[in-house]
Amino acid sequence: MTKNTALITGAGSGLGFEFSKLLAKDSYNLYLVDIDSKLLNKTKNHLIERYNVEVNLICKDLSCIDASKQVFQLVNSKPIDVLINNAGFGLFGPFTNTNWQREKDMLNLHVMTTTLMTKLFLKGMVQRHSGKILNISSLAAFEPGPLMSIYYASKAYILSFSEAIANELKGTGVTLTTLCPGPTKTRFQDVVSNSSSKNKIKINLASAEEVAKIGYKAMLEGKEIVIPGLFNKVLAFLPRIMPRKKVTSIVRLIQERNRAKQLNYNNIENG
């Protein structure tokens, strides 16, 4: 029996790595995309030792404008049954001080790459009347984010875009699910969190494994949006019942206390 094939971006660590394991366990052959070749090879070795699947690696910086087309061309002869747009990174600091090139890369990755990857692979899925897409947004999509303004705004774009396309896909046999995790134990949190701060606002971090399982199950069921955790669902609802100015102030307070370390300039897992 021919195995289905999945493509996961940001597959070298965090949520991408966990999604890769779940798909391999379900006997999907895999295309794994990441900017870090060492992490990709580590992921591949882990998977082929445990599962009887084919693992293909694509080392690519998806913040580059033509990266989506290059990835699509590399796998175009192979129908993709599941696409997971997971790659992402963040940048902390006042907008007047942050690095524009990195912000431009972030917008290219979160907005242009997510959009084009979805567009390129979706057409074949619709023609086959079968396929699933999982786009990774964030709890950040539901409110403005001072000191991480572009990260929050770009995640809001992913959510809005994905909801619209999910609606367009009704009756096609193809579904698009948006995963909006809250704070998650990934490299993102390791880099940006200030664990030594006495004023830190404590937030229970979900494990990447737990969040990936919730998102994967929702994707298989064809759900449109999933927010892991009751507390995160409440936070997502806050802008509907509180003045946006107040919500924005709360988000800034959390950022100032918990994000004391400036992000480095590597692609880092969504959080």
Tens digits of per-residue pLDDT, 75-100?
988 999 999 999 999 999 999 999 99
What tokens does 54 get? 């084919």
**Pairwise pLDDT comparison (231 vs 126), residue with the higher score:** 126
What integer pLDDT is reported at residue 246 of this predicted model? Answer: 83
Region 177-197 average pLDDT? 68
Confidence label for 266 from pLDDT (cuts 50, 70 and 90) = very low
The encoded tokens of residue 104 equal 């431009």
CB-based contact 169:222 (threshold 8 Å):
no
Q: What angle do CA 138, 171, 177 make, to 5 degrees?
A: 10
| Per-residue confidence (pLDDT) for residue 58, from 0 to 100 | 98
In this predicted structure, which of 10-19, 54-63, 105-114, 251-260 has the lowest mean pLDDT?
251-260
Query: Token pair for residue 72?
Result: 């699509």
CATH number of the domain at 5-258, please? 3.40.50.720
pLDDT category at 267 given cuts 50, 70, 90 is very low
**Partners of 34 in the β-ladder:** 59
CA-nearest of 87, 81, 83, 30 to 57 is: 30
C-alpha radius of gyration, the chain, whole number: 18
Burial class (CB in 10 A: 0-12, 13-18, 19+), 266: exposed
Selected residue with higher pLDDT from 271 and 198: 198
Look at residue 51 and tell me whether its pLDDT is greater than 50.
Answer: yes
3-state secondary structure of 89: coil
pLDDT (0 to 100) of residue 268: 38
* Average pLDDT, integer, range 173-177: 98
Give the C-alpha separation, 122 to 45, whole Å. Answer: 29
Whole-angstrom distance, CA of residue 139 vs CA of residue 142: 6
- Rounded CA-CA distance 109/64 in Å is 8
Q: What is the pLDDT of residue 250?
A: 78
Which tokens sit at 62?
């998806």
List, in order, residues 6 or more apart from 192 with CB less than 8 Å away: 90, 92, 258, 259, 261, 263, 268, 271
Q: Give the pLDDT of residue 232.
A: 85
Average pLDDT, the chain: 89
Average pLDDT (169-198) is 75
